[in-house]
Each structure stands twice: as structure tokens, then as C-alpha cells.
Structure 1
């Protein structure tokens, strides 16, 4: 069987209406599959003004606003509906790909099993950790149980880092889990993009050490730990500035808790590459990532990285070589103190920043999108072949 024989029905909770790392990876995957002759049909919520055009054919599925305070920009696919089921039957996929464990994905899983079609699920985020950031941590065991039931009904999983694969296996999510890593666009992310004139325009002096946050401004990205860490750095007398690249519903909270930070706003493409490379240290305290696209992008931009030693970053950052990893303790105060300890040397040692930044950029060169996406295509072919036996 060849890639061109594949007919893939891909289900996503967010394919293009709000830009994030997961749907950027999915769109790249679809583009790669289509270029090799595969047939792909994407099923996801559609909105009037999406963040970017979809790659491939996109079919809308029934949905409602996400029923979580502060996340109204996201949609929850609720079910398939008769029209979507007719479209599925007409498309006649030979493999189904589920990228989020939402109600429509559960329905798609049942549809695939009824029609004897293999199912691959990709894991993009640590959904079970989200309740911690909305005062609902008591829900975590229930969500883990629900995810375990969902993923074990699939034929196989792919996850973006070895650390995430290990975590999924430890939680009993599945045994057949492949590595679908992430690539980085070296035409955008490179230390050569550093722009001193741009720094000056936004208020950074040439000798300022800018600690960068990059990502969507939502609490589950560890905004509280980031802000507390910066406060601790300030009390230590570690000279620095904060550069925030991104936007989101928690921006007012972040601005209030980082009163001296420079907020550059949401950026993409060349403007994002310029902004990121113009920082000095990248700080990612999030424990919800399964890979950490922003961490890889920062490494490719020549920045040393200080990150939580959790799934994702733990597979990217070489502790003491490309940055520092801090093991999460579960306590915001303890984590902030450890992060401040890790960040402080970078605030005063230009040679350390340069050495670790250069090592990270060299490591980032290993991540090729073409080779990475080929792994998913090979998994589809294996699952279809197994079902035919």
C-alpha cells in the first residue's frame, strides 16, 4: 500500500479558526499527505472569520462555544449529525484520525468501529491538567479515566515527544504509541532574525536581558508561575526585562501582574521570527504541553531555554547544555523559586546565554517536518494493512 492509496477522515476540535501549535501541525500534516497523493477530508467547527485558511477540504461539524470561563473563542464539536455522516459515507475513508477527545470525536470513533475502519488518535495537549488552572483540580482523576477509555478504544496513538509517550503508557492510555514529533520552519526561526533596531523601538536597550514569554495568554500556560518567578527575580536584584509575545483572554491578568513588561502582541511569520530572536532567554513554565512548539522555535532562534521538566520540554531541552529544566513540584511558590534560581545566571552571564543559545539552535536543526510527517503516514498504512489481514 502507498500513501496515495490513503483516504483519511481527520477530526479536529480546532483546525483553523484559532491559531495554535496543534492545528499548525495538523495543517502541515494534511499538506504533506495531499502532496503525496493521499485523499484527506477534515471535519471541524467552522467560523465566519477563521485565523487562517484551512489546508485541504474542510467540512463543518455541529458545535457550541466551549463551556469554560475565559475560553469562549474555542468551539466544542458536539456530535456528527446526519449531514456529516452522509459526507463521511460518500468520502469512504479507509482510516480515521482523531485529534481531540471531544464529543464529536467519540461519535466518529463509534462510526469508524461500526464500519470496520481503523482509528488513529493524536495527542496534542495535557487535557487532564487543565482543571488545575480553573479551580477544579478535583476533576483530574475523572478526566484521566475518560481519556483512558477513549484512547484504548482506538487502534493506535501518536504523541509528539518521548516523554509524553512514557506518560501515556504510565497512565494506561495505550500500548501502541508512536512518535509524531514537530518540526520548525528555519526560514522563520533563526538567530539571524535578531533585530536590534526593533528592540530599541519597543523600549529594550541594547544591554537589556529580555526574558521572553511566547504563546496564547491563557492560565493553563503557567502565567501565574511566570509572574511569580519574575517577582522573585526582581527581589534577587537580577537585572532583566520581560517581553511577552502573544495575546489571549488572560492578557489583562498578565498585564496587571507584570506591570513593567513589554507586550508585543500576537505575531506570525517573519514578524514572529524577528520578535523571538530579539529576546535573550526563553522561559516556558507550562506543564500542559505534549511537545512545546514554542520551546523548539525559541531554540531555533538561538535563545537558551528555561522550562518545566515536564512532558514536551523534557525531550527538547538538554539540561545544562541548551538551557535548564526545572522539575515541577506542584507548588506555585516552590516552582517559582526554582525557576528564578535557574534564570538568574542568564541575566548576568552573556557568555552562558550565547553558548546555550547556540547549542539549542544546533539541536533544533534536527527537526525536519518532512521526515516527521512521514511517520504518521506510515502509521496509517500499517493500521489499514492490519485491518485487511
Structure 2
């Protein structure tokens, strides 16, 4: 297939979406598909505009200066598609660049697919813009309903969006590299650096931003320390809340953004993973923690609902019940001498999420979209 793959986040940006997009593009190319990648140019990158890649103009996202959104008119994309003649346009993100690409595909009667990866509408509450939530949600519904298929990460997201009027939804999960993230990466030297002794180490990995609900994980750590003062908390990541959180929770270790082998060692060397987010549609870090042998405390949604076996490979609590989240973290941490027996079960849970299976399923869905699209269905989608 000839695929125009449009995304507004891509390495070197570090987030779950950019890493998944990079892996997906590499998979499709390795499978012999012609993929033209369309994305914003990153600071310091050279310009690129050929049949394999177009780096468009881009600007920082407000409140997220290290992330960018792309800028290109639908007319410019239409002209490009007329020249490169893709059989399908896939919009991995829902920003201005993705919107322009879908509009161009509709104008040319090209099949288009999209990913629902981020609950942007839910972010508004965390920035004092709650009144915007229905506006953003309506934009997302109209955007995705213009495409022939919208890929979602879990069954629960599919059901929620279907109830809200999103159409043509298909579940395509996420995977994890179980060779890279592994209990074998556990490092005695790193634990000695943390000065934890036999006490448990709690871990958070992710962006330090309001929508991630990070203070709840740190409050849980404070509660754990009331009985286990030697317990440690390691926070991996960066973001606009870092300075405030460092000042508010001085007992936690903030180590910044980590990558590759160092990140894998931090996962495997901890004892318990806390994932307090209520806005993530999936949360790749949950799978990375499980693959590293960490029991997970999380709300019963997103990846945790799919892969964490409650009371077996972690503890799940009702979404929004902060007291239950803190109690679950304390329950596991205060019984940390038994956590070693949980590690194999956490690892086993992650083995159900194989990237090869996920990406082959996604590839098949794209091929079916190209083969099965009928002219009348394309017209119906484009006027939605």
C-alpha cells in the first residue's frame, strides 16, 4: 500500500504517542509499504520535502513548549496527495495538521483513517478551561467521524466513544518491548544509589503536568512513609509542574527524563508502580512497568483495566476514588516483603501485549479499509 501517515508528534519528542508512531511507521516500511511521513519540523532539523517525508512548519503548543503542532493547508496537502497518490491517508493525531490531511483526503475521495490517542477534551478541566470540554469533544467527534475507521486502544474507550456518537471504531491495542523492559534489568547499584536498603521503592514515569494527576502518586508516597519512613519514591519525567512538585514533596527523587537502558533499569529496580492518571486513553508506561515485573496501582481504566489482574498483578480502584488509590498503594508497599512473588505475575500480564501482533492487526485494518471502501460510504463520511 501507499500510505500517507500524518502525525504532529514524532521523535525526538518523547511521549507515548511519538514512540508508538515511530514504531508503527518503521513496521509498515519494513513490511514493504510505501509510507510518506508528514510531520512538523523539529527545532534544529533540516527541511525535508520529498516523496518519503514532508516536514511542515510547526509551532510550540501552549503550555507544552517542548511539543509542537504542524501547520499546512488542506489545499497544500491536496496538491501533494495528487502528486504522491497515496491509497490511504492516516491521521495519527487530531491537531491542525491531521485535520487538514483528512479534509484533503475527503476532497480527493481517498480513504482516511485516524487514531484516537488523547482525551484532549478532559485536559481543559486541569487548566481552568472546563467550559471548553464540550467544544473540544464536538471537534473530536466531527474530526473522527470524517474518517472511515477510528482506531482506539481499548474496548472501554471504544464503548465510551460509541455512546458519545463516534462511528466506525476499531480496537487496536498497544504493545510493549518485553526484551527491553525486563526484570533482568534490576540493578543493585542503582538501588544502592537510592539508599533504600530493604525498603520499597515506588515509581512514577510520565509527564509532570496537571492532567497526569501526579500529586496523587506523591501523596500516596507520603502516606506510605507514615509507617515505612525508609520507603523511597522515584519520579521519572519532566514537565511544567516539576518545580512545584519538587518543592511540595522534597522526600521524592526527581530524576528527569530517562531513555533506553537507563529507563529500563529504573523500572526494574523499583518495587511498585503508581499510575494515577484519569485522562490517558491507554498509558504505555503501565505495560512497561508490568514487563519490568512491577505490580501496578492504578484506576480501573485504560491499559490497567485491560492488563492488570486485580489482586494478582496489582490493585485497581474505582476511577476518581483518591482515598482508595492511596490505600491501595499503602497496602502493597506495607507488604513489600511479599512483592517479589508478585513480580512474575506482573511480567506474565505484559506478555499478552506483543507489538508484532498489534502492528500486524493495524496493518490488516488499513488494508481492509482500502479494499472495502465503497464510493457511497466515502461520500457519507466526508460530509459528516
TM-score normalised according to structure 1 size:
0.89
Distance 1:58 1:249 in 2: 31
Number of residue pairs matched by the alignment: 370
Pairs within 5 Å for 1:1-389: 6-49=1-44, 57-66=52-61, 68-69=62-63, 71-80=64-73, 84-174=77-167, 176-201=168-193, 203-235=194-226, 240-329=231-320, 334-335=321-322, 337-387=323-373
Task: For residues 254-303 of structure 1, give each alpha carbon's deviation from its aligned partner in whole angstroms, at most 9, with x where no partner exists.
Answer: 21122111122211111111111000100000112111110000000001
Superposition RMSD on alpha carbons, in Å? 2.0
Unpaired stretches in structure 1, ≥5 consecutive residues: 1-5, 51-55
* Shift in Å, 1:351: 4.8
Distance 1:292 1:381 in 2: 27
1:62/1:80 contact within 8 Å kept: no
Distance 1:167 1:357 in 2: 32
* Shift in Å, 1:88: 2.7
2:58/2:68 contact within 8 Å kept: yes
| DSSP 3-state at the match of 1:188 | coil
Distance 1:325 1:37 in 2: 41
Distance 2:338 2:344 in 1: 10
Unpaired stretches in structure 2, ≥5 consecutive residues: 46-50, 376-384
Distance 2:71 2:219 in 1: 37
2:77/2:100 contact within 8 Å kept: no
Distance 1:81 1:142 in 2: 22
* Shift in Å, 1:46: 0.9
| DSSP 3-state at the match of 1:294 | helix
Distance 2:217 2:172 in 1: 29
Distance 2:90 2:75 in 1: 20
* Shift in Å, 1:41: 0.8
Task: For residues 65-102 of structure 1, give each alpha carbon's deviation from its aligned partner in whole angstroms, at most 9, with x where no partner exists.
Answer: 21x33x11111223336654433322111101111111
Distance 2:219 2:135 in 1: 30
1:8/1:95 contact within 8 Å kept: yes
